[in-house]
Amino acid sequence: MSKMNTWDDKFDYLKLTRSLYLNVDYLQFLVEKVWKITKKVDVVDFGCGYGYLGLVLMPLLPEGSTYTGVDISEELIKKGREIFKNVPFNYKFILSSANDVPENDDTFDIAICNSVLMHIPEPDVVLAEMKRITKNDGMIITCESNWNAVNALLYIDGIKKSKITDLGFLQTLFERVHEKTKTDGNIGMKMPVIMVRNNIKNIQARISDSVRIILADEKNEDQDSIYTSLQSDGFGAELTDEQKSGKINWFIEQGFSREEATDYLEKEIKLNEMFRNRDELNMVYAAAMTFCFGYVRK
């Protein structure tokens, strides 16, 4: 994997956006009521970044549980080691690609990843590696995106949805990008099928209950934090003429006509204009992440 793929410069982005995608109390519900984890477990987090998932998950697990974070980004691993310095559980970080982790077979009770497989052209290879280092009867857990659902669920008050987005355009765009790159922003709902073809058993899935709300009449610290997180995720961008031209040309490269590309970009610009008008913004955003999980049988 080349240096450009390591997310070395993404710490600020990750720190600002991870909280959009899941609620800690929902994660606690999964741990206690769905996954029913009652004994200490050794957890390995594939594509851990700086360890966000470890920070929110480990306090919910039984005492004595351990955390191992795996990532190919040297900078993110360095940040993780700094942040974890005083955590009350045993941990370690491993600098490694996700498809060749330097750990023995049957080492961990749980292998988990969060928003990782969507970026990987061969998710089956990573899933096989997760399975390899997980013990018999251990659990594989993935939390992955569904971009089509996110765009369909987005609501901004005061304008028709068709004026700020084009769901058909986006669905076609995501399909074409997937065909070209094999990466998949809609992999979340596909994970049960991907797991079953990797011989993972007793597969189930849940949708994250995370819904973020911004209301013009309720400005406070929490609302400001949500606004900043969404801004970091791309909402409200102001494009230069050069950037607009570049986007249109990229859409054309994906097989759209200039008219289709220009029409969609105008809607995106309108959405961003409305987002920037914070004083009048009433917006509801749902992350729609899929938690898929199953058990290793060897």
**pLDDT (tens digit, 9 = 90+) per residue, 146-163?**
999 999 999 999 999 999
Cα–Cα distances in Å, from 144 out to 59, 141, 199, 290, 297?
A: 22, 10, 19, 5, 23
Name the nearest CA neighbour of 149 among 197, 95, 211, 74: 211
In angstroms, the CA 45 to CA 114 distance is: 8
Task: Give the model confidence (pLDDT) of 180-218 as tens digits.
Answer: 999 999 999 999 999 999 999 999 999 999 999 999 998
Beta strands in 51-103 (DSSP E): 66-71, 91-95
Q: Do the beta carbons of residue 204 and residue 294 sit within 8 Å?
A: yes
CA–CA separation, 103 vs 261, rounded Å?
A: 47
- Amino acid 4: pLDDT: 38
Amino acid at 99: N
The three-state secondary structure class of 157 is coil
Q: Which residues contact 257 (CB under 8 A, 6 or more apart)?
A: none
pLDDT digit string, tens, across residues 32-50: 999 999 999 999 999 999 9
The reported pTM is 0.95
- How confident is the model over 241-291, as pLDDT tens digits? 999 999 999 999 999 999 999 999 999 999 999 999 999 999 999 999 999
Report pLDDT for 5: 56
